[in-house]
């Protein structure tokens, strides 16, 4: 008999043995129940009929969104109506963490999403059920790798996007503290949704203005710019001559003046 079993048998008649056993049993039972109930839960989500998805979305909406957007998404003084914005808009705003807003500043900023994918999908389904609007995009629809043309996308980006988002998609300033965010590192579907829904200060680029194929080209160019190595050395933020000027006055001239001081230092 080894030492462990010996100790167990020594304490089996201890006065706390029975309560400890009871607690252990309860915990393991609860844990098993949790796991058992969680597993089918997610699979049930996938097979949820649409009406229950919408109900789930309505529940989340009532909890997390209605205080600003109104109980029936009709909008209020501080937030717009969501009737007719479509699932694409919800997927973009909630999926990139912009909604719910952290504070009432000029513009909702990108942050870690508060709702997970299922919750976002439920919210989108609920908002889409209110009135027709652009549908959410899934990544599989975005065949830009196959159907896009990088160079054409670059031209389209410079014509339609660069004036706010900068030539390299690094983002830029708008008036009164609003800004065009960077498009680098943004999921392709969110960029696409932004183009078709025009979030915040951004205009809507309908399929008539920029055709779906052209949108794919833009995506392809953005993704190519994102992965393009910095061909000339350190990129200095890809923001133009301001950082170059800063570097020349600090490192460039600083280094040269430092050397001049060294060259003219009195020999000791």
Partner 1 sequence: MKKVERIGVNVAGYVDDRTGAAKWLRKNLTKVFPDHWSFMLGEIVLYSFIILLLSGTFLTFWFDPSQREVVYDGSYEPLQDIKMSAAYASALHISFDVRGGLLMRQIHHWAALIFMAGMIAHLMRVFFTGAFRKPREANWLIGVGLVTLGIVEGFLGYSLPDDLLSGTGIRIAEAIIQALPVVGSYLAFFAFGGAFPGEAFIPRIFTVHVLLLPAIFLALITIHLMLVWYQKHTQYPGPGRTEKNVVGYPLMPIYMAKAGGFFFIVFGVTAFLGAVASINPIWLYGPYNPGQVTAGSQPDFYMGWLDGLVRMAPPLETAAFGYTISWNILIPGLIIPGILFTLMALYPFIESWMTGDKREHHLLERPRNNPNRTAIGAMSLSFILVVLINGGNDLIATHFSLTINQIMWFTRIGVIVIPPMVFVITKRICLSLQRADREKVLHGRETGRLVMLPHGEFVEVHEELSAAEKFTLTQHEQPMALQVPNSDANGVLNPQGLKGKLRARLSQAHVEQVSAPSASEAKELESGHH
Q: How far is the CB of 236 from partner 1 (least distance, A)?
A: 6
Which of 76/259 has CB closer to partner 1? 259
Separation CA 58–CA 76 (nearest Å): 18
Q: How far is the CB of 238 from partner 1 (least distance, A)?
A: 6
DSSP 8-state code for residue 76: B
Q: Does residue 5 interact with partner 1 by CB under 8 A?
A: no
Which of 45/174 has CB closer to partner 1? 174
Q: Does residue 184 interact with partner 1 by CB under 8 A?
A: no
Dig out the tokens for 217 from the structure: 């080209």
Q: Does residue 131 interact with partner 1 by CB under 8 A?
A: no
Q: Does residue 102 interact with partner 1 by CB under 8 A?
A: no
| Alpha carbon 71 to chain centroid, angstroms | 25
Across the strands, what pairs with 180?
172
Separation CA 86–CA 83 (nearest Å): 8
Q: How far is the CB of 104 from partner 1 (least distance, A)?
A: 15
Q: Does residue 87 interact with partner 1 by CB under 8 A?
A: no
Separation CA 181–CA 201 (nearest Å): 11
Q: How far is the CB of 80 from partner 1 (least distance, A)?
A: 22
Q: Does residue 244 interact with partner 1 by CB under 8 A?
A: yes
Q: How far is the CB of 185 from partner 1 (least distance, A)?
A: 16
Q: Does residue 238 interact with partner 1 by CB under 8 A?
A: yes
Dig out the tokens for 92 from the structure: 């973009």
Separation CA 127–CA 122 (nearest Å): 9
DSSP 77-117: TTB---TT-HHHHHHHHHHTT-SS-SS-SSSPPP---SS-H
Q: Does residue 154 interact with partner 1 by CB under 8 A?
A: yes
What φ, ψ does residue 14 adopt, rounded to 5°? -65, 150
Give me the residues that bind partner 1 (CB under 8 A), please.
Answer: 106, 150-151, 154-155, 158-159, 162-168, 170-177, 179-180, 221, 224-225, 228, 230-236, 238-242, 244-245, 247-249, 251-253, 255-257, 259-261, 263-264
């Amino acid at each position: 008999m080894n030492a462990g079993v010996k100790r167990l048998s020594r304490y089996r008649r201890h006065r706390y043995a029975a309560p400890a056993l009871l607690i252990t049993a309860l915990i393991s039972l609860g844990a098993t129940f949790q796991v058992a109930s969680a597993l089918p839960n997610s699979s049930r989500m996938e097979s949820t009929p649409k009406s229950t998805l919408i109900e789930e979305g309505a529940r989340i909406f009532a909890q997390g969104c209605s205080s600003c957007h109104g109980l029936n998404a009709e909008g209020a003084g501080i937030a717009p109506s969501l009737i007719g914005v479509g699932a694409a808009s919800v997927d973009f705003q909630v999926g990139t963490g912009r909604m719910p807003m952290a504070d009432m500043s000029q513009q909702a900023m990108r942050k870690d999403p508060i709702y997970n994918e299922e919750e976002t999908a439920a919210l989108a389904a609920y908002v889409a059920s209110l009135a027709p609007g652009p549908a959410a995009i899934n990544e599989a629809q975005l065949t830009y790798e196959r159907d896009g043309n990088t160079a054409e996308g670059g031209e389209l980006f410079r014509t339609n996007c660069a004036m706010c988002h900068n030539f390299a998609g690094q983002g830029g300033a708008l008036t009164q503290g609003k800004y065009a965010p960077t498009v680098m590192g943004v999921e392709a579907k969110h960029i696409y949704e932004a183009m078709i829904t025009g979030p915040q200060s951004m205009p809507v680029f309908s399929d008539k203005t920029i055709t779906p194929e052209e949108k794919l080209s833009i995506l392809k160019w953005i993704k190519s710019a994102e992965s393009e190595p910095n061909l000339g050395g350190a990129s200095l933020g890809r923001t133009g001559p301001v950082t170059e000027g800063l570097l020349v006055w600090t490192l460039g001239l600083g280094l040269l003046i430092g050397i001049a001081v060294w060259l003219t230092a009195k020999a000791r």
